[in-house]
Structure 1
Amino acid sequence: MSFLRGFLFNLYLLVLTLLMGVVAFPIRLLNRRDAALAYAKLWSRAVLWGLERLCSIRIVITGQENLPDGPALIASQHQSFFDGFVWMNLVPLPAYVIKKELTSIPLVGPMLVLSGMIPVNRAGGSKALRGMMETVAKAQTAGRQIIIFPQGTRTQPGQTAPLQNGVVALARQATAPIIPVVTNSGLFWPRSPWRKYPGTLKVIIGPPLSPTMAGRALIPAITDAWTHLSQEHNLPLSPVENSVDVKSSPS
């Protein structure tokens, strides 16, 4: 069943993206950034609607009261492609920090740039980091909520991975609250593109970290916050891999 769910969802996602990508051409030609972001939000809602309906996945968001009305630096765990969609409609002006390769995807890539996402060349060294910091600073001045994945890559649910130093650099210049976020999205949308598992997918938004925290203390503070939130909400604390079909999934 997990393979069938995955196949149906992938077909839905492909058709949806092709159709909406073609319809987006006028927005790109007119270079309408506000319209591009609204369109990206619509696309994300449609993707998550299909995930819920076709894959029997219930999405539960906890802690939205911890999100500020204005700019924020959201430090989220990253387990699944789901994480790249959910924030589009949880905050008013989302701006993901994304790897530059995503901007080369036909139809999707140009809209990512136009809607204000922040591409980073991960092989660009200190020059790329400085460019990212400047772009993030401008985005925060514009009131946007910056979504970063401090681990730098997808991990299995419960897996620990070192946080990248780039998050410290961003935090040092940030004037906005830093919000820790945990999820169990990898249990339901794993690395395998052909499998989806039913159950309750959780996104837990924690209280803001102290704005006066020193840079060196930030990485352990994020890690500790993730551990506390995972324990409090019964999320995996040791690696879990969904590589085979299961009769029942965690909820």
Structure 2
Amino acid sequence: MTISQALRTTLFYLLLSSSAFLWCIVSVLAAPFLPFRRRYRFVIQNWCRCAVWLARVVVGIRYQVRGLEHIPAQPCVILANHQSTWETFFLSALFEPLSQVVKRELLRVPFFGWAMALLKPIAIDRSNPKAALKQLAKQGDERLKQGAWVLIFPEGTRIPPGQIGKFSRGGASLAVNAGLPLLPIAHNAGEFWPKQGWGKRPGTVQVIIGVPMHAEGEGPRAIAELNERAFAWVCERQTELRGAAPQLASLAEQA
């Protein structure tokens, strides 16, 4: 990374952190008096748009989106690969209102956690996987019924570009049980916002939104098949984005 890019990245983090701190304070004071949809726009959507804009203007991370026409009118379950923080900002700005899985402990962080708690996230206890799955099923279904999109990163953690982590069945199970489709999304944000280190590289993130996937039937078999289909689609798009077959960390979870 050049000295110029290092300075730009430092400036980016300073602007991002200071804006987040100030916005969280304003949000904690103002958001409780707003209805949920307007609260989401005020607290999350506007700030995430600002974060994506800062990434573009300060460090040169632009983006192109294909498949916007595939987004259904009714909110459903979004399944996306996870490589960086950028896609969290971008997807939170694109879909509204959107609920996503967060660690329960984050809600206790002063100002940041308090502001996040106002937006009905799916707060889970990651130290207890079985309880976390039940929380995802219960709270995710509630959010869908309330008219919110639910974002799931089925890999569970950020995976470097060129690799695909195993897909948990939580997102597919949520969609099947709710009678709603999965909206698959693939991207290569990790090429420019790497998982390791603080450096950022200028370039254009490619985001691909697929055709909504509907389950073929009900029950465990339908969930497994839908999860496999989403996994295969993301693998194919990653191959397309990198121009070579990705290294598969694992097949979609079988158990």
Unaligned runs of 5+ in 2: 248-255
| Partner in structure 2 of residue 179 of structure 1 | 183
Q: Distance in 2 between matches of 1:25 and 1:111?
A: 5
TM, length-normalised to structure 1: 0.87
Q: Which amino acid aligns with 1:10?
A: Y
Contact 2:70 2:212 in 1 (8 A): yes
TM, length-normalised to structure 2: 0.85
Select which of 87, 97, 118 maps to 1:83. 87
Do residues 96 (structure 1) and 104 (structure 2) align? no
Do residues 223 (structure 1) and 242 (structure 2) align? no
What is the CA-CA distance between 1:225 and the residue it aligns to? 0.6
Do residues 164 (structure 1) and 168 (structure 2) align? yes
| Partner in structure 2 of residue 12 of structure 1 | 15
Q: Distance in 1 between matches of 2:49 and 2:79?
A: 22
Q: Distance in 1 between matches of 2:75 and 2:243?
A: 28
Contact 1:157 1:236 in 2 (8 A): no
| Identity in percent | 28
| Partner in structure 2 of residue 54 of structure 1 | 58
Q: Which amino acid aligns with 2:101?
A: V
| Partner in structure 2 of residue 132 of structure 1 | 136
Q: Which amino acid aligns with 2:180?
A: A
Aligned residues: 239
Unaligned runs of 5+ in 1: 240-251
| Partner in structure 2 of residue 249 of structure 1 | none
| Partner in structure 2 of residue 36 of structure 1 | 39
SS of match in other structure, 1:43: helix
Q: Distance in 2 between matches of 1:30 and 1:5?
A: 37
Moved more, 70-79 or 14-23: 14-23
Cα deviation, 1:132-160, whole Å, max 9, x if unaligned, reads 21111111112211110000000001112
Do residues 71 (structure 1) and 75 (structure 2) align? yes
Contact 2:238 2:246 in 1 (8 A): no
| Partner in structure 1 of residue 26 of structure 2 | 23
Q: Distance in 2 between matches of 1:193 and 1:141?
A: 39
